[in-house]
Chains A and B, each alone.
Chain A
Amino acid sequence: MSDHQEHHDDGHHVNYFKIYIILLVLLVISVVGPIVADVIREVTGVAWVATLLTLVTAFGIAVYKAKLVIENFMHLKWEKRIMKWMLTTSLLLMALMFAGISPDVMNHEGNNWRNVAAEAAVARGIDSGEEEVVEEDTAPAVEVAFDVESMFNIVCATCHGSEGLGDGPAGAALDPRPASFADPEFWETRDRDRIVQVITNGAASVGGSPLMVAWSASFDEGQIQEFADYVQTFRPN
């Protein structure tokens, strides 16, 4: 024991048992709080009180429990200031990451972009309710509540434009540019079968641009037929 370096918490007289009991009481409150909140929500119908109670008892208490452990068990209270700055730096980096990334993750669309996968995941999850999580993951990505026009606007319009003019925001950067379905020349070399073929297997399958990818993994045959019909509505007479 002669090599014991520093008895830095000697004389702090922390009552560890008392801290432990407080932590357990807080644990009970953090479990009971949200249960009480549910009762309040059902009985009174006042949602915001219940939400506030859940937030305070679950997350407010977590912060306070962590503070008790860090200060008293880890002895950060008596540690040199440089240590606190070190940890604060880590927390700031974390906050910076959150601030930088969260707007793009929490929003599913912006001025020039849409997060199609996230929108589809939300639609799929909410439409199918809680039972879907178990076995739903093999189903096609965007099958639920199929409506050809809105699906075209989500999936195709990012490049082809909602009017089919090839002027979608993501299409501007592509080379070659996406085809305009309103261009009479476009239809000189296309028929419905070819449209179905391109949507199903990608344009590269008929010698076109590989940027128009295959969609057969996401949509079934009937849905692709509906897309082909929809694309033809842009055709000039």
Chain B
Amino acid sequence: MKKIIKYVILDILRNRIVLAYTFFLLVISLSVFNLEDNTSKGLLSLLNIVLIIVPLICIIFSTIYMYNSTEFIELLVSQPLRRKTIWLSLFYGLAGSLSIAFFVGAGIPIILYEPTSTGFMLLTAGIVLSVIFVAIALLAAVLTRDKAKGIGVAILLWLYFSLLFDGLVLFLLFQLQDYPLEKIMIGISAFNPVDLCRILILLQMDVSALMGYTGAVFKDFFGTETGLLFCASILLLWMIIPVWFSVRKFKRKDL
């Protein structure tokens, strides 16, 4: 397994997109921190960029990468290797290199400029989101045979998690504003890892007062240890479930 991961990472490094992504993150985070006197303001700007850019790059790059490695996968499947090993190696290779890219690009500036608990939360959230969106991309890639369709599905999924989901939640809130939905909102937020990360970080930043009563309920719940534990386990499930489904699917796939 280690050997295949090695070849996957070598291949990813060779095509330079990940290096460009790292550089891009580095430029953005450095300029954001240098623009503002107050680094926590910089952190807030960085948060918004991270929550949009990281899922986008991770999901699209991984989907395209999976389609481009069709030949590689085909070659390995006829070798004495477990299919699960091949698939998981690709996942580890992609998730590993994109997480490292994020760590170098955004993590190091955060550690330099804002080594607070909020900063570390943002760093963790970025890495967790990278892994989750690689997992989702793998699922999208294994479900559709056609490359264009697969990439389309990946973009739609990103749109859903970044924009559509929030729109739906707002719509629900306005329609049902006469009912006490605050507790249910916690449950609903579990269906979107991006939102979950955003809430976690905003709560750390003490701007939750801006979110009104819902913010207070969130703070009550996510501020506690059980809340954090709940969050961590939901995010973990967001990594494991897509990978597990894609492995199952890949085991039966005809090549």
A, B assembled together: no
Point out residues on A near B: beta carbons under 8 Å.
Answer: none
Point out residues on B near A: beta carbons under 8 Å.
Answer: none
